[in-house]
Amino acid sequence: MKTFINKLQIEKQIYALRWAFAGLLIFFLLGADAFAHGVAEGDKGYIQEITGTNLLPFVYLGAKHMFTGYDHILFLLGVIFFLYKLKHIGIYVSLFAIGHSTTMLLGVYFGTNINGYLIDAIIGLSVVYKALDNLGAFQRWFGFQPNTKIATLVFGLFHGFGLATKIQEYEMSRDGLIANMLAFNVGVEIGQLLALAAILIVMSYWRRTDSLFKHAYTANVLMMIAGFMLVGYRLTGYLAN
Determine which helix (DSSP H) or strand (DSSP E) holds 148, and give its type and residue range: helix 148-167
Distance from C-alpha of 116 to C-alpha of 118, rounded to nearest angstrom: 6
Residues 39, 169 contacting (CB under 8 angstroms): yes
Distance from C-alpha of 230 to C-alpha of 92, rounded to nearest angstrom: 23
pTM above 0.85, yes or no: no
What pLDDT was estimated at residue 42?
Answer: 62
Dihedral sign (CA 169, 173, 174, 179): negative
pLDDT 10s digits, 32-70: 444 445 555 566 666 777 778 888 988 998 898 888 788
Q: For residue 231, give its domain range.
A: 2-240
Average model confidence (pLDDT) for the chain?
82
Report residue 209: phi and psi, to 5°.
Answer: -95, 170
Residues 52, 175 contacting (CB under 8 angstroms): yes
Asked if pLDDT for residue 14 goes beyond 60, the answer is: no
Which whole-number Å values give the CA distances from 44 to 40, 66, 118, 127, 172, in the listed order?
6, 16, 22, 28, 9
Local confidence band at 22 (pLDDT 50, 70, 90 cut-offs): low
Of 10-14, 81-85, 174-178, 213-217, highest mean pLDDT: 81-85
pLDDT 10s digits, 71-99: 889 999 999 999 989 999 999 999 999 99
Distance from C-alpha of 41 to C-alpha of 61, rounded to nearest angstrom: 13
Q: What percent of the chain has pLDDT over 90?
A: 47
Tally the domains of the chain. Answer: 1
What pLDDT was estimated at residue 68?
Answer: 79
What pLDDT was estimated at residue 153?
Answer: 96
Give the residue among 86, 58, 84, 31 at the shortest CA–CA distance from 163.
58
Average pLDDT over residues 149-166: 92
Average pLDDT over residues 119-136: 95
Which whole-number Å values give the CA distances from 20 to 24, 25, 26, 200, 203, in the listed order?
6, 9, 10, 15, 12
Least confident of 166-175, 210-219, 231-240: 166-175
Asked if pLDDT for residue 101 goes beyond 90, the answer is: yes
